[in-house]
Structure 1
Amino acid sequence: MDTDNILLRREIADRTHGQHNVELQARYERKGLLPEEEDTRAQWDMMVAKAITRVLLSQYRGHFWVVECDSAQGIAWISIPVLLGQWKYVFHLSEDITPAMIIRAGGEILERFNLPRSNLDVASFIAARKMAVKNGGTPPA
């Protein structure tokens, strides 16, 4: 992997309602560009991914969300890779992505693994992880 093409930023999400801080990591990888080319979409993609992450954390804090945006492909997606493997919930950027859509998508992912639509519950997450391993990384129907 060429680390010259990767940008990693970290920041702390604000504490809410007495909860612990959460570190947000924003990672951007330059793809298909020559070293002298500027990626004009990078900042926008990172801003969209960060906004989606903040909505997810407002409802489902503590879960291991991964959010990516690729405006060149016209999509953004969310996942919990430790449960979903390569599966992702995809949003098309040609549509308005509302907080309600993001919250519903995150909730649907959690419900597939019988996780409560709430902040992370460690015991439920461990059970969900065991189910994911048993299913070979395929989400339950």
Structure 2
Amino acid sequence: MTRKFMIINGPNLNLLGTREPEVYGSDNLSDIEKYTNEQLKLLWNEPVELDWYQSNIEGEIVNKVQELLKSDYEALIINPAAYSHTSVAILDALKTLNIPVIEVHLSNTHLRDAFRQQKLTAKSSTIIMEGLGKRAYLLGILSQLIK
């Protein structure tokens, strides 16, 4: 049986690798996806399917979260990026899910601007992983595989 995970990435994450590399690192989103897939194959010997999605548009992210209501995904790994601090709409969509929600952030938001330390979306998250760089995605997935 293949275990399935949806990974949703929010605004400006399409600019990873060029946007503030001193904060977010030099890997782009494709590099992070490749790293996560490769490491997962090394660490987990059962089939796992990862579906990656990125949007800069709040409503598209809400729609993608709502699609999970009628799916067989085991968990959602989400990096809402800047929307984590502002989006009641994404928070409300996440609250409808009956699967674990693992929120990830590449940087440690508690070491950054004060407004980044408050996360609305965290109120619906099962787990929050931050400050781990690209490893946050892999560790978020593993947190659900190893139970």
TM-score (normalizing by structure 2)? 0.28
- Answer with 1 or 2: which has the greater Rg: 1
Greater helix percent: which structure?
Answer: 2
Higher relative contact order (CA closer than 8 Å, sequence separation 6+): 2
TM-score (normalizing by structure 1)? 0.29
